């Protein structure tokens, strides 16, 4: 139980280190406040928006030709080929997915918007064509027709707090309106009627936010990222602390007491894990106070603490790796900052990154904090439970174990044995 006495010693030293506490507790709060009061969304002109299409549509037979047509696929092709005016850049990067997949992609902001095409879409388009033909060839009959209208509602779903959704759904609504007008115009031209008549509205679009996100802002997406940023930045303080232990000769004295490397390294897990607990609680409280729409109950906080501690252990491991290669506290701080700040951007703490893959896997999927962030957003932003985060937690634990093993090996080799 020697590591417990070492943990108590480290905890007392940590409490007395006001500068260290500032950087691991107060500094992240400052960032949280800055991002909280700034409002969000980032976008670029002439950049394709990420669109997921869920096509439930069934094909219909055109009476005049007997041809089987799926207008849902036709609309999908049009959206795939749509380009910015006077540009060869496409409006959308289209992904065809199931409805459940679209929901997950929206929650992680891997897409900007989802379009759900209903199962009666082709029937509705065919009804529009028949109505247009009848109106063009025999207006009097059309005006008195009792043929039932088949109205199809396309769902445009997304996170209303995400600026990219606001822009992309506006583009979609415009394209859908033009799509209906084009059908009418082409049909009228086919029967050589006078174009320009106003059609009955057979096709409608409905903007539908993700459940529970109606009042969301970009801060609701960024706040969990701020927590992860604080957890990652902890590695800098850990590295400085371990390096200070070496410089002051504390490690040498501990080795003389025949304390094993296991006790020295694992004894540090307890105080730093407690720091992560306080980070999660304090930063979440600050976020809620300045407008974060926290979803879920007490269970979500407890799970968030568990997820945060896993990410914190990964940061401790990173701190050990950094301290294994530096000569003094100053170098530890500089190298730690040089690594942790870019790492925060790489995991998507502040905004989603472009898709860059290694062997078909997103490159940031190899970082444990990416999955920590996914789990925190699922819990705190979208009100998910254990089922929603189990995969992310599992991958995070796996990657953390690997990173911690590397940290123990390098620190033992470069520091503990060197101090013997």
Burial 21-54 (b: 16+ CB within 10 A, else e): bebbeeebbebbeebbeeebeeeeeeebbbbbbb
Q: Which of 332, 334, 338, 335 is nearest to 247 (CA)?
A: 332
Query: The whole model's pTM is what?
Result: 0.61
- The whole-number pLDDT of residue 193 equals 45
Most confident of 294-303, 335-344, 391-400: 391-400
- The whole-number pLDDT of residue 369 equals 95
User: In angstroms, rounded to a whole number, what is the distance separating the alpha carbons of residues 46 and 49?
Assistant: 9
pLDDT digits (tens, 9 = 90+) for 216-237: 667 777 889 889 999 999 999 8
Provide the 10 A C-beta neighbour count for residue 258.
8
pLDDT digits (tens, 9 = 90+) for 372-393: 999 998 898 888 889 889 999 9
227 class by beta-carbon count within 10 Å (0-12 exposed, 13-18 middle, 19+ buried): buried
pLDDT digits (tens, 9 = 90+) for 135-154: 666 655 445 554 445 677 88
Q: Which of 269, 228, 243 is nearest to 380 (CA)?
A: 228
Q: Do residues 119 and 156 make contact, with C-beta atoms less than 8 angstroms apart?
A: no
Q: Name the pLDDT band for 200 (thresholds 50, 70, 90).
A: very low
**Which residue did the predictor score with more confidence, 160 or 35?**
160
What is the average per-residue pLDDT within 256-265?
Answer: 60
Tokens of 403: 């990173």
- The whole-number pLDDT of residue 297 equals 79
Q: What is the DSSP string of 25-94?
A: IIHHHHHHHHHHHS------TT--EEEEEEE----EE-TTT--EE-HHHHHHHHHHH-B-TTSS-BSEEE
Percent of the chain with pLDDT over 70: 67
The yes-or-no verdict on residue 253 having pLDDT over 70 is no
At residue 158, the 3 state secondary structure works out as strand
pLDDT digits (tens, 9 = 90+) for 316-358: 999 989 988 888 888 888 899 899 988 988 888 877 666 666 6
User: In angstroms, rounded to a whole number, what is the distance separating the alpha carbons of residues 145 and 318?
Assistant: 74
**Which residue did the predictor score with more confidence, 298 or 135?**
298
What is the average per-residue pLDDT within 98-126?
Answer: 88
- The whole-number pLDDT of residue 210 equals 58
Q: Do residues 39 and 218 make contact, with C-beta atoms less than 8 angstroms apart?
A: yes
SS (H, E, C) 267-325: HCHHHHHHHHHHHHHHHHHHHHHCCCCCCCCHHHHHHHHHHHHHHHHHHHHHHHHHHCC
Q: Which of 227, 237, 226 is nearest to 318 (CA)?
A: 237
User: In angstroms, rounded to a whole number, what is the distance separating the alpha carbons of residues 54 and 33?
Assistant: 38
* Angle at the Cα of 234 from the Cα atoms of 229 and 240, rounded to 5 degrees: 145
**List of domains in the chain:** 2-40+217-416 (no CATH), 49-209 (3.40.1710)
At residue 242, the 3 state secondary structure works out as helix
Q: Which of 337, 349, 348, 336 is nearest to 283 (CA)?
A: 349
Q: Which of 102, 91, 122, 120 is nearest to 54 (CA)?
A: 102
- The whole-number pLDDT of residue 316 equals 92
């Amino acid at each position: 139980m020697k590591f417990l006495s070492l943990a108590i010693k480290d905890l007392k030293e940590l409490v007395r280190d006001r500068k260290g506490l500032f950087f691991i507790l107060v500094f992240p709060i400052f960032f949280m406040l800055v991002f909280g009061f700034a409002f969000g969304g980032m976008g670029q002109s002439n950049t394709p928006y990420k669109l997921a299409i869920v096509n439930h549509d069934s094909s219909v037979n055109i009476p005049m030709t007997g041809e089987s047509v799926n207008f849902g696929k036709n609309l999908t092709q049009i959206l795939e080929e749509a380009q910015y005016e006077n540009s060869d850049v496409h409006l959308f990067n289209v992904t065809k997915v199931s409805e459940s997949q679209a929901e997950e992609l929206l929650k992680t902001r891997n897409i900007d918007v989802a379009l759900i095409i209903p199962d009666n879409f082709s029937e509705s388009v065919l009804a529009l064509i028949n109505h247009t033909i009848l109106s063009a060839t025999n207006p009097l009959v059309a005006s008195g027709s009792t043929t039932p209208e088949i109205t199809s509602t396309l769902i445009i779903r997304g996170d209303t707090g995400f600026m990219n959704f606001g822009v992309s759904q506006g583009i979609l609504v415009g394209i859908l309106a033009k799509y209906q007008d084009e059908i009418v115009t082409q049909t009228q031209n086919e029967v050589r009627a006078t174009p320009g008549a106003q059609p009955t509205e057979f096709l409608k679009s409905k903007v539908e936010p993700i459940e529970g996100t109606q009042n969301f802002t970009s801060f609701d997406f960024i706040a969990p990222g701020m927590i992860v940023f604080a957890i990652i930045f902890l590695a800098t303080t850990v590295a400085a602390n371990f390096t200070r232990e070496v410089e002051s000769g504390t490690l040498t004295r501990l080795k003389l007491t025949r304390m094993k490397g296991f006790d020295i390294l694992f004894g540090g897990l307890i105080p730093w894990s407690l720091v992560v607990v306080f980070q999660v609680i304090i930063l979440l409280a600050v976020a809620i106070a300045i407008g974060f729409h926290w979803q879920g109950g007490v269970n979500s906080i407890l799970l968030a603490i568990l997820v945060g501690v896993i990410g914190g252990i990964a940061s401790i491991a990173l701190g050990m790796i950094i301290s294994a290669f530096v000569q003094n506290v100053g170098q530890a701080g500089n190298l730690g900052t040089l690594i942790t700040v870019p790492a925060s951007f790489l995991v998507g703490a502040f905004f989603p990154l472009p898709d860059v893959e290694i062997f078909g896997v997103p490159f940031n999927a190899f970082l444990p904090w990416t999955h920590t962030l996914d789990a925190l957003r699922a819990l705190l932003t979208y009100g998910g439970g254990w089922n929603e985060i189990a995969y992310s937690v599992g991958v995070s634990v796996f990657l953390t174990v690997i990173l911690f093993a590397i940290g123990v090996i390098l620190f033992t080799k470069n520091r503990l044995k060197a101090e013997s």
